[in-house]
Amino acid sequence: MLITKFIEIDMGHRVPNHKSKCKNLHGHRYKIEVGVNDKVIDKVGSSEEGMVIDFGDLKDILMKNIDAIFDHALVLDQTDKFAQEIKSFDLKTILVDFVPTAENLARYWYDILKPALQRRNIKIKHVRVWETPTSTATYEED
């Protein structure tokens, strides 16, 4: 059974080598959807009977592993020319080892969420990232 949950965060980034305006520092209202695909719990009397995972528990995992870290942060590739300079400012900045595109963020967040969900014996199916209301990137392992 596939179920999904999404959260939204505000986050800044830049794509340093982009041919147009995305090379500038800017932000998005990201929508992040996580799909988990597992069996429905059939243990009679269990709080989660009839569910794959309680939506509230899934939300808690997303809030702890994505929202608490990335909401209102600036994410930059550690090789970006601004990365070292920005450290001198008191800003919520996260340096990563990739260009922070929607595609790369979808994979990165998938990799963060996979072990958190595995600890609950839940299989992650995908992470879909809306960078704009009409543009998404989805990562799932083959």
Q: What does pTM read for this prediction?
A: 0.93
Q: What is the CATH number of the domain that holds 52?
A: 3.30.479.10
Give the full edge-to-edge strand order of the sheet including 124-132. 93-96, 73-77, 2-13, 26-37, 124-132, 135-139
If you average pLDDT over residues 4-21, what whole number do you get? 95
Q: Which of 74, 75, 71, 138 is nearest to 102 (CA)?
A: 138
Active site residue: 22, 28, 103, 126, which one?
A: 22
Whether 40 is in a domain gets the answer yes
- To the query of whether residue 72 is one of the catalytic residues in this protein, the response is yes
Q: What is the pLDDT of residue 46?
A: 76
For residue range 45-73, list pLDDT tens digits in order. 878 878 899 999 999 999 999 999 999 99
Q: Is the pLDDT of residue 4 over 90?
A: yes
For residue range 73-119, list pLDDT tens digits in order. 999 999 998 888 887 888 999 999 999 999 999 999 999 999 999 99
Question: Where in the sequence is the domain holding 65, given as residue range(s)?
Answer: 2-73+101-139
Which residues are CB-contacts of 68 (< 8 A; sequence separation ≥ 6)? none
For residues 76 and 126, give the distance between their C-alpha atoms in angstroms, rounded to a whole number. Answer: 23
Give DSSP secondary structure letters for 78-115.
TTSTTHHHHTTS---EEEESS---HHHHHHHHHHHHHH
- To the query of whether residue 141 is one of the catalytic residues in this protein, the response is no
Active site residue: 8, 26, 72, 141, which one?
A: 72
Whether 19 is in a domain gets the answer yes
Please state the domain count of the chain. 1
Whether 78 is in a domain gets the answer no
